[in-house]
Structure 1
Amino acid sequence: MPATPVRTRKPIDWWRWAGRGILAFLLIFTALPMAWMVITSLKTQLAALQYPPQWWPEEVTFENYLRLLSPNNAIGHEFLQYFWNSLYVSILSTVLGVVVAVPAAYAFSRFRFPGRQALFFSVLLRNMFPAVVFLMPLFLMMKWLGLVNTHGSLILTYLTFGLPLSIWLLKGFYDNIPPQLEQAARIDGATRFQAFFHIVMPLSSPGIIATAIYAFIMAWNEYVYALTFLNSKEMLTLPVGLQRFFAEYATDWPGLMAASFIMSVPVVVLFLVLQKYFVRALTEGAVKS
């Protein structure tokens, strides 16, 4: 009879288990504040101030959400106004950023001209400094242009801050698209613009979507410039409008948490819907083939 093979126990991959443990810790570290935010938004003001705090309230209420989403009361009217202001500024700055970043990145990727490398790295130079450094110069410039207390000042500012990384990301993506595809289209009679629009644009759609996600999130969450440039209550964006829940003697913590949760919903939904394009753009645009 043939000898029965001896089964050897597979050694434990400690590095893999250590990685899983670190990922589990990071998941808990990031999910716990979100869970506490949602739970607090379902509490009454008295339950939110209770000590020691309770993880799950004895009385669950959706009054905070109904109050914020109802335009018939003062708080709901203001909150919805801030929400639409943020949506308007974020969408417009995202669209303009993509419109400017796409041809700029394509030019850096395909054309060779004197000072190309120096100009490309000078575009990235702005990201080496904190955004708050440019606060007063940009405020004086917007005041000179007559754009203070207008959404145009925020759109121009977000466009300026989002362009460097958008151009860098898209350039890396265009570098991975073989130029022979455009040359073949040119041989068939297409112009450079037609080759770019019909060949390069569809292939670079994941990179464009990733750039749009980045620009939208940056504009949606920005606080300092919106606080400085806007001084009218009707013009405020959502991050600045959240301070309305902070009173002199008491803070409406359930209302603040409900507003913060509603504010996070568009970004989360946008990222979940377009996640595959975002990951594909980062992986394909990061390594030049």
Structure 2
Amino acid sequence: MTTTAITDQGSATGARAGATTGNAPPARRLRRGPGTGGGPAGERTPRWQIYLPLGLYLFFTLVPFYWMLLFALRPAGSTSLVPWPATAAHFDKVWNDLGFAVFFRNSLLVGVASLVMTTAVALAGGYALARFRFRGRNGFMLALLCSQFIPGALMLVPLFEIFRELALVNSLWSVVIAETVFQLPLSLILISGFIRNVPAELEEAAWVDGCGRFRAFCAVVLPLLRPGLIAVGSFAFVHSWNHFLFALMFLSSQEKYTIPVGLNYTIGAESVDLGALAAGGVVAAVPVVIVFAFIQKWLIAGFSAGAVKG
């Protein structure tokens, strides 16, 4: 019994000494479980499982655009699946004969005016919602959110009556005002979220340095809101550029039509000029593609800023 006790004590002492001097046996390496390292037991996910779904999605996304370019560039009556030899006759027809130069100018005016008005009003209202606490603030935010569930078609008749009393029917300003009103709720919610991500201590430091509230906002907060303003403004422009219902309802003369309404009138009662219709679609799509190509960096940054509270 004594010998056994001494042996056990010696073993325990040796184990403690080994642990102290770093000679302890290495810990067993844990095996990766399912779902780590890209697959079961740490295996990498095969590339085809990533590229196949992405390729299918890209195919179904780009085929309609290719089909539109095909009809716009190939000669009338051709059945070739390749737009060669290419022709610009359809673009010349829609731009000069069908008046798409005027439609393009009208759409540009409506889009830019809606962008400026929506961004300016949303910036002022979003700052008030983000920085001030007042009675009914939560209810107001809830009302803004619920207004997004109201279809714009339900408001066409009341809006038409209002614009008729204001002598704005068949004026581009009627479309601009309607677009601004219907885009403001979501823009207010987004801008207020962006402003809340800017620490109020930055403004307070500017106040201490002698700046007023407006000057501190312009010097400190506004530069940090650039991604959010670009995100809100780009959606306001694209929505106004593509919207068909308001322009169809409030504009009655051809010199006031926007591109969506002009495209609608290229469809005749007996036949459809597919080449002209496709060329008009290309004219309508190119500005939007160019805008998103230039602002995609700030657009992604704006979404990221609105997702995480700083």
TM-score after normalising by structure 1: 0.88
> Does 2:288 align with 1:267?
yes
1:10 CA displacement: 6.7
> Does 2:94 align with 1:68?
yes
What amino acid sits opposite 1:40 in the alignment? F
Aligned partners of 2:230 and 2:74: how far apart in 1? Answer: 38
Structure 1 residues 129-167: Cα deviation after superposition (integer angstroms, max 9, x where no partner): 222121222112212222111111101100001111111
- Please show how residues 114-153 of structure 1 align to structure 2 within 5 Å: 114-153=135-174
Conservation of the 8 A alpha-carbon contact between 1:221 and 1:239: yes
Task: Choose which of 205, 209, 212 in structure 2 pairs with 1:188.
Answer: 209
> Does 2:81 align with 1:55?
yes
1:249 CA displacement: 2.3
What amino acid sits opposite 2:61 in the alignment? T
2:117 match: 96
1:226 CA displacement: 0.7
Task: Choose which of 278, 281, 303 in structure 2 pairs with 1:257.
Answer: 278
Conservation of the 8 A alpha-carbon contact between 1:174 and 1:204: yes
1:35 match: 66
- Please show how residues 170-181 of structure 1 align to structure 2 within 5 Å: 170-181=191-202
Provide the identity percentage. 36
> Does 2:199 align with 1:168?
no
Aligned partners of 1:179 and 1:194: how far apart in 2? Answer: 14
Two-structure CA RMSD over aligned residues (Å): 1.7
Q: Which is worse superposed, 115-124 or 54-63? A: 54-63
| Total equivalences in the alignment | 270
Aligned partners of 2:54 and 2:183: how far apart in 1? Answer: 30
1:17 CA displacement: 5.0
Structure 1 residues 249-281: Cα deviation after superposition (integer angstroms, max 9, x where no partner): 221111111111111111111111011111111
Rate the CA distance shift 1:202–1:74 in 2: closer, same or farther, 3 A.
Answer: same
Match of 1:274, SS state, is: helix
Aligned partners of 1:217 and 1:207: how far apart in 2? Answer: 16
Shift >4 Å, 4+ stretches: none
1:34 CA displacement: 0.5
Aligned partners of 1:17 and 1:165: how far apart in 2? Answer: 39
Higher relative contact order (CA 8 A, sep 6+): 1
Match of 1:245, SS state, is: coil
Match of 2:77, SS state, is: helix
Conservation of the 8 A alpha-carbon contact between 1:173 and 1:285: yes
Rate the CA distance shift 1:272–1:184 in 2: closer, same or farther, 3 A.
Answer: same
1:57 CA displacement: 4.2
Q: Which is worse superposed, 98-107 or 132-141? A: 132-141
Conservation of the 8 A alpha-carbon contact between 1:172 and 1:287: no
Aligned partners of 1:285 and 1:121: how far apart in 2? Answer: 18
Structure 1 residues 219-274: Cα deviation after superposition (integer angstroms, max 9, x where no partner): 00000111111111111111000123212322111111111111111111111101
Aligned partners of 2:54 and 2:267: how far apart in 1? Answer: 35
**Structure 2: runs of 5 or more not aligned:** 1-40
Aligned partners of 1:27 and 1:74: how far apart in 2? Answer: 35
1:201 CA displacement: 0.2
1:171 CA displacement: 1.2
Conservation of the 8 A alpha-carbon contact between 1:45 and 1:252: no
What amino acid sits opposite 2:57 in the alignment? L
What amino acid sits opposite 1:178 in the alignment? P
Task: Choose which of 33, 38, 45 in structure 2 pairs with 1:13.
Answer: 45
- Please show how residues 168-247 of structure 1 align to structure 2 within 5 Å: 168-247=189-268
What amino acid sits opposite 1:39 in the alignment? L
1:22 CA displacement: 2.5
Structure 1 residues 75-124: Cα deviation after superposition (integer angstroms, max 9, x where no partner): 2xx11001101101111111011110001111101111111111122122
Q: Which is worse superposed, 254-263 or 127-136? A: 127-136
1:58 CA displacement: 5.1
Aligned partners of 2:195 and 2:308: how far apart in 1? Answer: 11
Match of 2:265, SS state, is: helix
